[in-house]
Structure 1
Amino acid sequence: MTATLPTLPADVPNVTPQDREYHRLRSTYTASHTPGAILLPRSDSEVAQALRYAAGTAAPVSVRSGGHGLSGRSSNDDGTVIDLSRLSGVEILDPETGLVRVGAGARWAQVAAALSRHDLAISSGDHGGVGVGGLATAGGVGWLVREYGLTIDHVRAATVVLADGSIVRADGRSSPDLLWAVRGAGSYVGVVTDLDIDSMPLSGVAVTQLAIEVDPDGAVLERWAEFMAGAPRALTMSGALVMSDDRPVLVLTAVVASDDPRVAEKALRPLEKLGRVHRGRVSSARYADLVPLEHLHPNLGQQPSTTTNALLRRITADSARALVDVVSHRARPLVQLRALGGAVDDVDPAATAYAHREAHALVTATTFPPYSGPDLDEAVVPLLPYSIGAYRNFETRPDDEAFTRAFPGATGERVKALAGRYDPDGVLSRVDRL
């Protein structure tokens, strides 16, 4: 039964179930939803109106930048969705330093295309359809993560609309606590409408695909992790551990933050010592080619799935065997591996709401229908003893346990305290409870 909602704010464009656009805007990438109203603010003041409206209801409140989040929390049933897609500007504030102001409703394909014209880049996830707001307030593990670090590491300021409708400019001088929360836990303190981010100069990258045959005990995975620990930080690698003819294979994309293929060849050459490695030709590309405009699509609940993840300090012999056990499970989960380290390690763990600077590998596991949460939980059991935490954006079920894994100890206590200060009535936590 649809909840009765107060009168929608007259100045804010909106879409309701009676409108033709509703079917295109109601859902997320992973889940189909039926919200009571979708508001599409065009300015900070209209976001404030939308939030005040939402706060006046008892229904769920979702904020959406791109709708690509795995949890599906950027929409809901019977409540309000504040869709930021009309706040999608990309402006270079300082060509000398590369400081860029990005609207939270932009998608990373749009950002990369705009910056590419100036030989600039922001490491920004691995899919161009991902929204800026969801990624740049939670972490940001992108194709350049070892060279650039997390996206949040380069956020210098943000405009935040608080749950009471107040508009605050958060930076290191005037609102350091709020900026700290924006950099990793932004959804708990307000609606971020734009971010000032330091981009990096980058005229091009070198890219190749490779596949590594994995032995039954996973020893090759440990050797790959050792290789990455000593690799130049310009090299970032991520991919999937898959089963092929009942044998595990590690299928990877390697990206080198250089437009010189010789730099990539030198960085990748030691991989040949790992075992049976099948490598494609190194090619040159723009960063925008990695997150292309072709990735942009409406989100219609087209990829139902259940995902969880684990951050590992490193891949050891024991955790490598566990990874093989996970991918061999009857549910055949999609297991993705991302190498961290490099520039991620440069930041003090207390400087942002992402505390896991010692983690050098991120493992994501996903099941698809007919398999569901219990099957995934069973599949990942072998890996759990080696997990030191989690990355919040790769979790379908953001419950209390997931919160503690993402925000351990003092970090979690600080996030909760700031959420209580900036959103005392819990308006923004009606879908994603602390």
Structure 2
Amino acid sequence: MTTSSAAAAVLAGLDGIRAEQEELYRSLHRHPELSHQEQRTAEVVTEGLHRAGFQVRTKVGGTGVVGVLVNGDGPSVLLRADMDALPVREDSALPYASTETATDSDGTEVPVMHACGHDVHVACLLGAARLLARTRDAWNGTVVALFQPAEETGDGARAMIDDDLTGIVPGVDVALAQHVLPFPAGRVGTRPGPILSAADSMRVTVHGRGAHGSMPQAAVDPVVLAAMIVVRLQTVVAREVPPTETAVLTVGSIQAGAKSNVIPDSAQLQLNLRTYSDNTRDTMLAAIRRIVTAECQASASPREPEFELFDRFPLTDNDTSTTERVAAAFADFFGDRAATIAQQSASEDFSDIPRALGVPYTYWCIGGADPDAYHHAEQAGRIAQDIPVNHSTAFAPVLQPTLSTGTEALVVAALAWLAAAGRVGGCVRSA
């Protein structure tokens, strides 16, 4: 059976689950959970996988869930969705808008919102798992449905790996994942090679010598030192990264002092880097250390600067042959709704999973914006102003065709490996 004919057979049941899938999405959106706190979401996922006939492992990496469905001999395909939400207060008129709050890892009560579309990802993967389980005569092999916690903090994939993920899902041949973005719903975008940037956050503390504001000659002013560092850091991308490379260096925070007439003892800067190659990443990290150290010496800082790396995300670098295989299947199924997407400066930790498993992977994007609203904004040159982006307080993908497209994309991509001729007997392997 070809991929397209198998996809037609599997997705013939999509209309029958649409209403239930939409209600599931509304419930997930209404009840978001912070990273490493996805208890309710994991329970919903576990119940859905059990009902579909998957063998399920729970609490993998804390709150992760892995479902395995074996349907005869054949390839093993891993499909991944992330589950966590963000500490954002929702500002939308949706009847299912979140009003949830939670206590974060610092003990602070914060609002919680699915501001990045992970509720879409969960609903789509559960829908795809359900459809594949119902139509086992259209494919053979193994489906691994992996629901990952804590993508937003960049450590959820690693937590699952450290909890013996490679022992739970041995023999995987390929790993696949997707993300909803603010382009028109119904569209699908693929890209071979780097698609999402690597990300590194760095906390830099520089030291001075405090004094009265009226006696600056007695001080080593860390505020001036921090300001010089900020200016000099602007040359890193402009003068040390080749023009053919894409990179971003942002100074997102400077904290120093508490009173206008007091020169403080220290200043802290927080930086964020986005890169698309290990060489550029290493070059920029080294440049930051060099510049900060040199500026501290130029200011006669009494102590060496301190550097702390945190919130690090790997590069998402799509395997070319795997991506071409999925792109061809998408083109056959979606027609002109499938296209090549530009590199995205966002970051994510999915690629840690296939790297740990030693398998190729590809990661694609689906649209979630209202197509008419997007078209009007595009015509008016107001996309940035009128179309809410991920992590904004108003980010809320339209229900359809977002959910249907995301479900179709997962099924079609999986069947690029699993489509088989003839009926095979289903069985379930214990994970």
Higher gyration radius (CA): 2
What TM-score comes out, normalization by structure 2 length?
0.28
